[in-house]
Structure 1
Amino acid sequence: MPQITHALRLQAWPFLLLACTLLAGFAGLLASAFPQLPVPEPLRFSWAGSLTLVVGGMIVSAWLFRSSGRALLLKKLAYQASHDALTGLANRTMFEEKLRQDFTLARQNNRLMAVLFIDLDEFKPINDTLGHKVGDRLLVAVARALEACIRPTDTLARFGGDEFVVLLPDLESARQAEEVAERILQKIARPQQVGGHELYLSASIGISLLDDSETSPEKLIRQADMAMYKAKRQGRDTFQVYSAELDAKLSRRVTLRQDLQEAIRSGQLFLHYQPQVDQNGKFFGVEALVRWQHPTRGLIAPERFLPLAEETGQIVPLGKWIFTQACKDAVQLKEMGLLPGRMGVNLSPLQFHRPGFLDKLKKILAETGLPADLLELDLTEGVLMKDRCRAISLVNSLQELGISTAIDDFGTGFSSFSYLKDLPASSIKIDKSFVENVVTNHKDAAVCKGVITMAREMGLTVVAEGVEDEAQFDILRAWGCHRFQGFYFARPMALAALIAWAEGAEGVCPNVD
C-alpha cells in the first residue's frame, strides 16, 4: 500500500492543473453570461474561449482518470505479485530477485553475504487449536518482530506458511549472521498477545554463507533450508550453520531413502530369526529381524535404515512385508513342529497408531493362516507417547484376539514403571545395555534384578536380551528371568539355518546343560 500512496502523490499535479483549467473556463462562462459579476479581468474570456476550456478540460479529465486508474491497477497488481498479502513482506519471487542482485554485487566487491531460513516451531498446533484468524495475526506479529531484528538494507520475506527468509548482504564476518539469528530467537521467544491469548513460540534457523565456490544464488536458500532442518533435529529453538559435511549427510540420506523404496519394491529385504530359550536352554520361541542386502553397498545394518523408514513413513509398507513374511515362515515352522512358542515381530509406533492397524493385522493372519496365539508383537515405549488411552485399548484388543504383546527395550525410556501397571502386556524385555554389564556393574545388576522381581510379582514374563556368555545367563536365571535371547545361544539366522539349528539341537541349546 505505501507504493500506491506514493503513486497517487506523483500523479496529483496533473489533476490540480486540470482543476484550475476547468475553474477558469467556468468563471469565463459566468462572466460572459453575467457581466456584472465580480470576475477578475484575466478570467473574462470570450464565450467561445471559456467553452473551449470547459469542454477540453472535461475531455482531458476523462482521459486522465482512465489512464491513472489503469496505472494504479497495474501498480497494485505488481505489488501483489511481489509481496505477501498477509504480512506485507516480500514474497519468494521478490526475494529471489533481490538475492540475485546482491549475489552479483557480493561477487564483484568480494563481500560476504548470508541467507537465514526461519521456521516457527509448533505453529500448526496453535493454528489448529485457536483458528486461522489467530494464527494469521500471530504471523503478522512475528513478521513485525523479525523486521525489528534486521537492518534497512537487509531483505525479509515470507515464503508461505510459517517460513520466513532473511537476506543479509555486505557482512563483515560470519559472526554477524549468527548474531542476527540470536536476536531473532530471543525476539520470537517473547510472549505474543494475540486475540486475548498469550502465545509462546520458538524458531529453528538455518544459516548459509556465500563462499568462493558458490555459483548459484538459489543454492544458498536450499543450504539454509538444510541447516534449518538440522536445527529442528537438534531440539529446535536454535540455529545451525550450513556445512559441506551436512550436505553430504543429507545427500546420503536422500539416496538411502530412494534405495530403501527400491529395496521394498524389488525384494532386497529378507528376514533373519533369533531363537529364544527358557531357563533350561530349551528352544522356546523366535524373533523376526529384518535385513537389507544392497546390490552395491552390501549388507546395511537395521539401525541405519529403520529410523529413516520411521521418519519417512516407509515403515508402513516395510512393516507390512515383515509381518506377512514372518507369519508365512511361522506357519512353515509350525507345520514342521519347530515352533514351540510364538513368532515375535517388532512394531513401530507409526504402524501401531495408523488407522485400520488392527484390521490389516487380522487380514494378514487370515491370508497366511497363522493362529493369533502364535504371534507376539514387540512394542517400544514410544507407542504410548502419542495417545496413551488409545494404545491401551489397542493392546487390550490384541490380547482378546490371542496376540501376545511385549514391551521391548524395557528400562531405556522415561515412563516404564508409570505405565507398566496400566498396559496389559504379557512380557517385558530387559534391554541388552543392562544385560551386557550385569556381572561387572552393580547398578546394572540392580536394575535387572529389580525388573525381574517386579515383573514376576505382576505376573509378567521377563526376557533378557543380549545374553552373550554363561555368567550372564547364570546370574539372570538365578534371579528368576524366564527367557533368554543372545549370541550365547544362537545368532540371528535365515529360516533354513534356523530349521537346521532347531532340528540338530533337538530343541535344546547345546551350550546349556
Structure 2
Amino acid sequence: MDITKYVLAVDDERSNLLILEKALKQTCHLITTTSPFNAIPLFEKYLPTLVLLDIDMPEMDGFELCEKLKAISAEQSTNFIFITSHDEFDYEQRALQLGAVDFISKPLNIPICQLRINNQLHITRQTQLLKQSHAALAKEREHLRIILRSINDSVIATDEHGFITFMNPAAQRITDWDQQQALGEHISKVMTLTDATTGASLLNPIEHAIHEERAVAMALNTQLISKEGFTYRVEDSASPIITEHGELIGGVIVFQDVSETVEMVTRMTHITQHDQLTGLPNRLLLHDRMIQAISKAKADNEQVATLVIDVDNFMYVNDTLGHQAGDEIINHIAKQLQMIAGNNVTVSRLGGDEFVFMLGAVKSYSTINYIANKILSTIKEPFTIKESEINVTVSIGISIYPQDAYSVEELIRHADTAMYKAKKHGKNCYWYFSEELSDELQDRVAIERELRDVLNRQALILHYQPKFSLKSGDVCGVEALVRIEKSNGQMLAPDLFIPIAEETGLILALGKQVLEISCRVAKQWHIQGNPTSIAVNIAAQQFNQSSFCQSIESLLKKYALPANLLELEITESALIDNFEQAIETINQLKAIGVSVALDDFGTGYSSLSYLKYFKLDVLKIDKSFVDSINSDNTAYSIVSAIVTLASSLALTLVCEGIETQEQLDTLKAMNCQLGQGYYFSRPLPLDQVESFMFERDKH
C-alpha cells in the first residue's frame, strides 16, 4: 500500500469511522477523527488526497468544515466526498457548490464505499499521470535544443531529396530500422505514416518542410507503423536544414511516441463522445465519422447510407411500463443494432428513442435493403423485462450520399423525413428519401418563408378558445392560439408552421409576438371591465432563455397588466432541457405572480416527478385521454387518478378536447374543474370571442 496516499475521514460517530477503516484498509492510509476541530491540524499535517466529511456534526457541520479546509491551502488538490443520510435537493446543491465530487449515503455500505472512494483515488492517480506525461514531453522538447544525441525524442535527418542521412537511437527503436540499414533509404519507406482513424497514407512532414522551406507539424491523428508492424501514435515537427548562406541541404524531423498519452486522453474524453445510457457514439462522434465516410466515399466513388431508426409508439410504452423499463428497452435495441453492425458501420443514439445506422462504402441498394430488413426483423423479436414479454417495432428512414445529399446535416435531415413517411405508412417498415419527399421539403421552405414574412410584418393572428367551469358553465379564461394568414389569403395550420419555427429558431420571435399581443388584449379587456385570464403556450427554446422571466416582467409593466391575468403553458420538453434552470425559472415566474400550467399532462416521459420539484399551478389533461374516456377503461382510470392527484396537491385541472355531452358528463362526475373543446367553442378570432364571452355574460 502506498502510504503517501492519505485519506482523511471526519465523522462524529465512531462506528462509521470503523466501517470506513475496514473498507479502506487495503486501499489507502486512512486518518480518522470524530472532531471537526481536530480535522484541521490533521489536514495541515498530511495534506490528504481525499477528505470524507459527515454533514451533520454537533460542533461544526461538514459544509463549514469543508470551507475551512479548502481555505487552508488553495493550491492543494484535495477532493471532498460528503457522507450523509439526506437526499434533499438543497443539500446536494450546497455540496456541489462547495466542490464535492461524490456522496456516500448512510447507512454505510462497505462495497459501495470502496467503489466510490477507489474511483476518486483512481481519477486522481490518472490526472497526476497525465500531468507527469505532459511534463515529460515538455522536458524532452527542451533537451532537443541542447544535446541532440542524448534525448529520448526520435530524430531523423535527410538530404534535400528526402533520403535519410541520420537516425538517433530513439528513432531506430520506434521504427525498428537500424541506422546502417536506413541510411540512403527514402523517409517515406522508413517512416510509414497513416491516419489513425481512416488508415489513409499520409505524406511525411519532412517532405513538406523541404519543399516549402519552412517548419511543418505532423498532421493530427497520425500513427507510425514500424518495420515489424507495431503501431505508435506520434507527434512531431519537421524543419528544413538551411546553411548560413541560405542553401537548402536537407531536412530534420523530431517526433515522439505519445501512444500512452493519447490512450489516456481517449479514455477521459470517451464520455463526451458517447451516449451515457447505451455507450453508443453520440451526435458529435457520429458527425465526425460521417464526414470521414463521405470523404472516403467521394474518393472511392462509393455511397454512404444513413438510416434514422425511431421506436414506434415509444412514448406510450414508456408511460405504461415506466422510466426504468423505457431505459431497458433503449439499451436492448442498442445492443441489437450493435450485433447487426459490421465493418464500415456506425451505430449512434441521437437521443430519446432515435438511433442512426450509418453504412460506409456502400456499393448497392441490396446491401441497404438487407440491413434495413435485418433491423426490422431483429427488433421485432419479443424480449423480456421483469418477467414481462415486450414487443416493439421501429420505423426507418434512409437517405444516401451522394444521391440525396452531400452534407452530414442534410443526410440526417432527409433520413428523418423519410422515417416520418415510414410511420405514416403503418410503421414497422423502412422508407427511402425521394423526390416526393424533397417536394415536401420545398413546401417546408415555402412555409418558413411565409413565417418569416409574417413575423417581419408583425402580422400574426391570434384566435382564442374559451375555458369553462364544468360546474357552473361560466367562462373562466381563454387560451391564445396563433394562426398565420398566407399571402394567398389561406390560413396556415399551426401543426405545419410550429415545428418549422422550432427547427429554425424562429420560435423565439414567434413566441415574443404572441406574448405581446396576448398582454395587449388582456389589458384591453381589463380596461373594459371584463378581466379575463389569457393562457399562452411557451416553447421550450423560449422558456429556457436566460432572459425569459425578465421579458415577462417587462411586458407586464409595459401594459400595466395584473400578473394573475397571464398564464404560461409549458410542456415537458421545456422542463427536461435544463432541470435546475427550469426550477429557478418557475420560481421566478411565481414570484412575479404569473400562473404556470403543465400542458399535455400524462403524455410525457416522467411527468409525475415534476410535481415534486416544480411549483406548478395548473395541469392540463391531454385530449388523447378525453377522446377515449368513455371507451377505454385505462384512459378513464388515468384521468380519474389525475383528478385525485390534482385535488390533493391543490392544482387547478383543465381537461382539453371536450367534444361530446357524454365526455362532459363523465368529467363532471369526476369533479373535474375546468374544460375546453369544440363542445363549448372552437378557437375564435378576437371580435367573435369577445361577442361570445361578454355578450354571453350579459344574458
- Give 2:522's aligned residue: 330
When the two chains are superposed, the root-mean-square deviation of aligned CA atoms in Å is: 4.6
Contact 1:224 1:242 in 2 (8 A): no
Deviation at 1:388? 1.6
Contact 2:460 2:514 in 1 (8 A): no
Query: Secondary structure, in 3 states, of the residue corresponding to 1:421?
Result: helix
- Give 2:691's aligned residue: 500
2:558 corresponds to which of 367, 370, 377? 367
Q: Where in structure 2 are the equivalents of 1:202-351 lying within 5 Å?
A: 207-208=399-400, 221-222=405-406, 226-231=410-415, 241-278=432-469, 279-296=471-488, 298-339=490-531, 341-351=532-542
Q: 1:142 to 1:316 in 2, by over 3 A?
A: closer
Deviation at 1:174? 2.2
Distance in 2 between residues matched to 1:491 and 1:452, nearest whole Å? 24
2:272 corresponds to which of 102, 126, 135? 126
Q: 1:176 to 1:229 in 2, by over 3 A?
A: same
Query: Secondary structure, in 3 states, of the residue corresponding to 2:572?
Result: coil
Amino acid at match of 1:486: G
Contact 1:208 1:224 in 2 (8 A): no
Q: Where in structure 2 are the equivalents of 1:62-211 lying within 5 Å?
A: 73=208, 85-86=219-220, 126=272, 153=300, 171=363, 173-176=364-367, 207-208=399-400
Tell me the TM-score normalized by structure 1: 0.60
Larger radius of gyration: 1
Query: Secondary structure, in 3 states, of the residue corresponding to 1:284?
Result: strand
Q: Where in structure 2 are the equivalents of 1:480-491 lying within 5 Å?
A: 480-491=671-682
Contact 2:583 2:614 in 1 (8 A): yes
Contact 1:275 1:485 in 2 (8 A): yes
Q: 1:180 to 1:417 in 2, by over 3 A?
A: closer
Mean Cα deviation higher: 468-477 or 369-378:
468-477
Percent pairwise identity: 30
- Give 2:593's aligned residue: 402
Distance in 1 between residues matched to 2:503 and 2:517, nearest whole Å? 23
Contact 1:224 1:241 in 2 (8 A): no
Contact 1:275 1:284 in 2 (8 A): yes
- Give 1:471's aligned residue: 662
Amino acid at match of 2:272: I
Deviation at 1:179? 7.3
Contact 1:154 1:167 in 2 (8 A): no
Contact 1:346 1:379 in 2 (8 A): yes
Contact 2:303 2:361 in 1 (8 A): no
Distance in 1 between residues matched to 2:287 and 2:503, nearest whole Å? 31
Distance in 2 between residues matched to 1:374 and 1:421, nearest whole Å? 25
Contact 2:460 2:484 in 1 (8 A): yes
- Structure 1 stretches of 5 or more lacking a match? 1-7, 16-70, 78-83, 90-122, 130-134, 184-203, 210-217, 509-513
Q: 1:219 to 1:128 in 2, by over 3 A?
A: closer
Contact 2:397 2:433 in 1 (8 A): no
Contact 2:485 2:491 in 1 (8 A): yes
1:417 corresponds to which of 591, 608, 612? 608
Deviation at 1:150? 8.1
Query: Secondary structure, in 3 states, of the residue corresponding to 1:305?
Result: helix
Amino acid at match of 1:415: S
Contact 1:288 1:346 in 2 (8 A): yes
- Give 2:65's aligned residue: none
Tell me the TM-score normalized by structure 2: 0.45
Mean Cα deviation higher: 455-464 or 418-427:
418-427
Query: Secondary structure, in 3 states, of the residue corresponding to 2:518?
Result: helix
Query: Secondary structure, in 3 states, of the residue corresponding to 2:619?
Result: strand
Contact 1:282 1:507 in 2 (8 A): no
> Relative CO higher for 1 or 2, CA cutoff 8 Å, sep ≥ 6?
1
Residue 384, structure 1, aligned to residue 553, structure 2: no
Distance in 2 between residues matched to 1:447 and 1:461, nearest whole Å? 17
Query: Secondary structure, in 3 states, of the residue corresponding to 2:498?
Result: helix
Contact 2:646 2:653 in 1 (8 A): yes
Amino acid at match of 1:444: A
Distance in 2 between residues matched to 1:402 and 1:280, nearest whole Å? 26
Distance in 2 between residues matched to 1:139 and 1:270, nearest whole Å? 41
Amino acid at match of 2:541: L
Residue 435, structure 1, aligned to residue 626, structure 2: yes
Q: 1:143 to 1:128 in 2, by over 3 A?
A: closer
Contact 1:289 1:345 in 2 (8 A): yes
Distance in 2 between residues matched to 1:314 and 1:143, nearest whole Å? 28
Amino acid at match of 1:126: T
Distance in 2 between residues matched to 1:74 and 1:219, nearest whole Å? 40
Count of paired positions: 364
Distance in 2 between residues matched to 1:205 and 1:455, nearest whole Å? 41
Deviation at 1:145? 9.6
Deviations 1:379-437 (CA, angstroms, capped at 9, x unpaired): 11112111222212211111111101111111111211122132111111111111122
Deviation at 1:220? 5.8
Amino acid at match of 1:356: S
Contact 1:467 1:485 in 2 (8 A): yes
Higher-helix-fraction structure: 1
Distance in 2 between residues matched to 1:12 and 1:353, nearest whole Å? 58
Deviation at 1:316? 0.5
